[in-house]
Structure formats: C-alpha cells, structure tokens
Amino acid sequence: MLTFHNTLTRKNEPFKPLKGKTVGLYSCGPTLYNYPHIGNYRAYIFVDLLKRYLLYKGYKVKHIMNITDVDDKTIRDSQKEGISLKEFTTRYEKAFFEDIKTLNILPADKYPKATNHIKEMVAITKALMRKGIAYKGDDGSIYYDIGKFKDYGKLANIDTSKLKAGASGRVKKDEYSKEDCQDFALWKAYDKADGNVFWETSIGRGRPGWHVECSAMSMKYLGKTFDIHCGGIDLIFPHNQNEIAQSEGWTGKPFVKYWLHNEWLLVNGQKMSKSLGNFYTLRDVLAKGHPAVAIRYLLLSTHYRQQLNFTFEGIDAAKASIGRLNELVRKLQDVKDGEKSVLIKKEIAAAEAAFKKAMDDDLNISEALAAVFDFVKSMNNHIDNSTIDKKSAVAAIDFLKNVDTVLGVMNFAAEEELPTELTKLIEERENLRKEKKFAEADKVRAKLRELGIQLDDTPEGVRWKKVS
Ligand code: AMP
Ligand code: ZN
C-alpha cells in the first residue's frame, strides 16, 4: 500500500486519490529572479520522483507547476538591472526550461504564469472581502484576517492563541517568519517603488501578493479540492499556510488532501541558498565537466525528508552507481544460453517486490536503491558464472527498464556507433594482436584511451566504452 507523510497531520497516511486512479498534483514552481541553483532542483526532482512513481503504480497524473513572474523579488531585481519585468523574468524562464530538460524531469501538464491569472486572483480577493475574511487596510492594500480562519496555523504547527500581542498587525511583504505571523497581503495597493508593475482592476491599482497566486492557479486547473501539493519545507510557512487560508476561506471546502515537503540540500551543513552565496547553479556544475545524469541521481538518491549534503565526491559516487547499472545492462544484452543457464524469474520478482515495498513507504528511495543494487550484484554473479539464460536476461532488462521509468538515469540504447576513424583504430589493434605485435597493439590502445575510448578484451572479443 502506498503511503505518504502528510505535513498537515504529521503522519504517514495511505494514499487514496479523490477520483479513482487520477491524481491532481500541484507543485510550487520557480520564482524567476535568478538561475535556479541545484538546491531548487532538489525540490523539482523530488516532485519528479513522486510523479514518476505514481505513473509506475498505474495512476494518471495531472501535474500543474506555477511560474512566479511577479512578486517582491522579481520587481526588486529587475529594477536593479534597469530592465522591464518581462525581459528580466523571460531570461530565467528560458534557463529553467532548459535545465529541467537537461535533468530529465518530466514536464508538467501546464506551467501557468502569475501575470496571466490576475483576474482569478482579484476574484478570490473580492470574494474573501464579501465574506468578511479580508479587509482593506489604511494603506489601500487588502489583507487576509487570519483571526477569521479557524484552522490558521494548522499546517505550520503554529498555535495562534499564543501569538504575541503585535499579531493583530499586518504584514505586506511576501516572505516573513513565524514570529511575524499576522494578517497578510492578498492585494498590494500601488506603491511608487513598484515602478511600472501594476494592474488596474476593480479592487484598485496594484499587484497580487505571492500567496494568492498559487491559490488561484492551483484551483483553476485542479479544482477546489485536489490530491497532492508539494514544495520545499521553507514554503510551509507562510506560503502554503496562507494558500490554505485563502482557498478554504473562499470555497469552504478542504483545499488539499496530502501536503508533501522536501528537506534542504546543504553545503557544509548550511542550506544552499542564494542569500548565503553558497550555491551552485546547474550550469556551474555542468561546466566543471560533471554529467547532468549524475546530478539527477545524487539529488534523488536521498530520502526527500532527509537533508542532503552536497559534495563533488557525492557526484562522483553517483556517476559510479549509474556506471554499474549501465554496465549490467550491457552485459545482460550479451547473455547467451549455455549449459548451466537457469531461469531466475523468482529472483527478478523478489527484487521488484523489494523495490515497490520501499517506494510505497513514503518513497523510501535509499531502500529501493539498495534492493536494485542487491539485484545488480546477484545478476553480475549469474553472468560471471554463466548461470543465467537469455530469457531471464531479457526479463532482467525489462525489470531495470521499469525501475528506470522512476529513476530516469539509465541508458538502454544498444551500443552507439563509433566514428569510423576510431573503429579503424580498434581494427588496427586487433590485426596487430593477431600478428603478435603486442607492443604496437598497446600503443594503439593507449592512443584510443587518450581519445576517450577504453578497450576491454573479453572472451567474446574486444569491447569498448567511453571514458572521461
Ligand atoms: P524559489 O524559486 O526560491 O521559490 O524556490 C523554489 C523551490 O526550491 C522551493 O520549493 C524551495 O523550497 C526549494 N528550495 C530552495 N532552496 C533549497 C535547498 N537548498 N534545498 C532544497 N530545496 C530548496
Ligand atoms: Zn506556491
């Protein structure tokens, strides 16, 4: 049975979608004010793992990820550069879409942008005012009265009865701490500091608060109640807490059934973040010559609710793990029936069951990967001892293919073609060996190695692989 840890109840709960086998999934997307760092990608890769596992289990997933293209930070930094908000955010939007492709993250069904949904945000704000839950402050902005929402604080585990005296005040900025838990801005009346970023609407000239953006876009595309909402743990308060207050205050219905939040990617024990300056963008890491697939593997291979310390040794270890998986695939592709070959169906079924059992337990990826690597070890033994038949090898590849619909890191393509000049060099070495000119043959081998091709002499003949 599939279970998830629900931030709302702080318990592991069996997963039952609202509508049969269809899952509505919303994940908070990027704020377009910088090139995302790999900490951000830990959040998006966690959602990708969740979504891929739901698909593996036979669910249909409707995934919406918003794009925040107007908020305090985007306005502030576009002004610093002296360019329009649109020009500024478009740069980072392009980078984001390139990066998710590079990281083999499955695309969402839709990426709604905040600036295209002002009408919906105004409608929610107006409805909340009509209900007496929101009010206009003396600065002309519209605030949510948190005292009017019974469950305020439930998601973030804040006891509102213990809020300090100043808690009857208001907070206009998008981000603030639990200590500043107060009425928050749904709509920010125009302020000169916003320059030319404003909309003329029936609730006045201004712009939306960040939190109402996600209420409006999630409910528009997934309905008033939907299954899963994800984000990094920093979003629990105030962002997701305020989304619940806005959405449930408006509809009177439960907003989201399961809230899932990922932990930090750390650097030397500290959260990777732009403000601390200890971050690497995806581009930074790729420029150092590391393959994207190793970054993906590293970011997904620790349980999403555990902190993960980023190191370059970690990337090298990830590279080695992927290498072991791909090497087994190559060997399985070469298996031929022999005298000692036996069917190993049961072993494959056991590995599959262990993988599922671990992933069903709140996506316990470390245990799931342990099951996969036990399988790798055992298959390598079978291959080395010729105790696997062709049919089982095909079944083993099929199992790995299924696992990889979840991991997205393996390579099943039959061996790629080498450029002719390299093939010629391999042939030349073979001929030299046949003529017992071993020293010369070794020279050709070394030359190939310099060109990034490693040769292995196996009982089936010479094999090559690309190395860095
Ligand atoms: P932002 O673009 O700043 O709104 O962040 C996008 C997502 O990345 C949010 O879900 C954050 O919680 C998440 N995030 C930011 N920094 C980290 C980090 N160091 N580790 C894991 N997730 C992070
Ligand atoms: Zn959001």
Contact 22, 228 (CB under 8 A): no
Per-residue confidence (pLDDT) for residue 341, from 0 to 100: 61
Tokens of 193: 């500091």
- 3 state SS of 198: coil
Q: How far is the CA of 392 from the centre of ligand 1 (A)?
A: 43
Q: Which of 139, 144, 288, 131 is nearest to 210 (CA)?
A: 144
| Ligand nearest the Cα atom of residue 47 | 1
Q: How far is the CA of 1 from the centre of ligand 1 (A)?
A: 30
Contact 61, 54 (CB under 8 A): yes
Q: How far is the CA of 93 from the centre of ligand 1 (A)?
A: 16
How many other CB atoms are found less than 10 A from the CB of residue 449?
Answer: 12
Please name the residue whose Cα sits nearest to atom 3 of ligand 1: 31
DSSP character at residue 300: H
Atom of ligand 1 nearest to the CA of 34: 2
| Ligand nearest the Cα atom of residue 214 | 2
Q: Which residues of 402-439 are buried (b: 16+ CB within 10 A; e: fewer)?
A: ebbebbbbbeeeeeeebeeebeebbeebbebbeeeeee
Q: Which of 234, 260, 267, 282 has most ligand 1 atoms within 8 Å of CB, for mutation?
A: 234
Q: Which of 28, 38, 40 has most ligand 1 atoms within 8 Å of CB, for mutation?
A: 40
Q: Which of 56, 71, 68 is nearest to 21 (CA)?
A: 56
| Ligand nearest the Cα atom of residue 310 | 1
- Tell me the pTM: 0.88
Q: Which residues form ligand 1's pocket by a CB distance below 6 Å?
A: 28, 30-31, 39-40, 42-43, 231-232, 234-235, 262, 264-265, 271-273
Q: How far is the CA of 239 from the centre of ligand 2 (A)?
A: 7
Per-residue confidence (pLDDT) for residue 453, from 0 to 100: 87
Q: How far is the CA of 281 from the centre of ligand 1 (A)?
A: 12
Per-residue pLDDT in tens (0 to 9) along the chain, 468 residues: 999 999 999 999 999 999 999 999 999 999 999 999 999 999 999 999 999 999 999 999 999 999 999 999 999 999 999 999 999 999 999 999 999 999 999 999 999 999 999 999 999 999 999 999 999 999 999 999 999 999 999 999 998 877 654 456 899 999 999 988 999 999 999 999 999 999 999 999 999 999 999 999 999 999 999 999 999 999 999 999 999 999 999 999 999 999 999 999 999 999 999 889 999 999 999 999 999 999 999 999 999 999 999 999 999 999 999 999 999 999 999 998 876 666 678 999 999 999 999 999 999 999 999 999 999 999 999 999 989 999 999 999 999 999 999 999 999 986 566 777 888 899 899 899 889 999 999 999 999 988 888 887 765 567 787 776
Please name the residue whose Cα sits nearest to atom 9 of ligand 1: 232
Per-residue confidence (pLDDT) for residue 166, from 0 to 100: 47
Q: How far is the CA of 185 from the centre of ligand 1 (A)?
A: 22
Per-residue confidence (pLDDT) for residue 419, from 0 to 100: 77
Please name the residue whose Cα sits nearest to atom 11 of ligand 1: 232
| Ligand nearest the Cα atom of residue 40 | 1
Atom of ligand 1 nearest to the CA of 264: 20
Q: How far is the CA of 30 from the centre of ligand 1 (A)?
A: 8
| Ligand nearest the Cα atom of residue 26 | 2
Element (H, E) at 359: helix 345-360
Q: Residue 190 to residues 81, 140, 187, 445: CA-CA distances in angstroms? A: 21, 8, 9, 70
Please name the residue whose Cα sits nearest to atom 14 of ligand 1: 40
Rg (CA), the chain: 27
Please name the residue whose Cα sits nearest to atom 12 of ligand 1: 232
| Ligand nearest the Cα atom of residue 45 | 1
Q: Residue 324 to residues 318, 319, 331, 372, 411: CA-CA distances in angstroms? A: 10, 9, 11, 11, 11
CA 419 to chain centre: 36
DSSP character at residue 148: G
Q: How far is the CA of 56 from the centre of ligand 2 (A)?
A: 26
- 3 state SS of 112: coil
Atom of ligand 1 nearest to the CA of 31: 2
Contacts of 175 (CB under 8 A, 6+ apart): 72, 210, 238
Q: How far is the CA of 297 from the centre of ligand 2 (A)?
A: 25
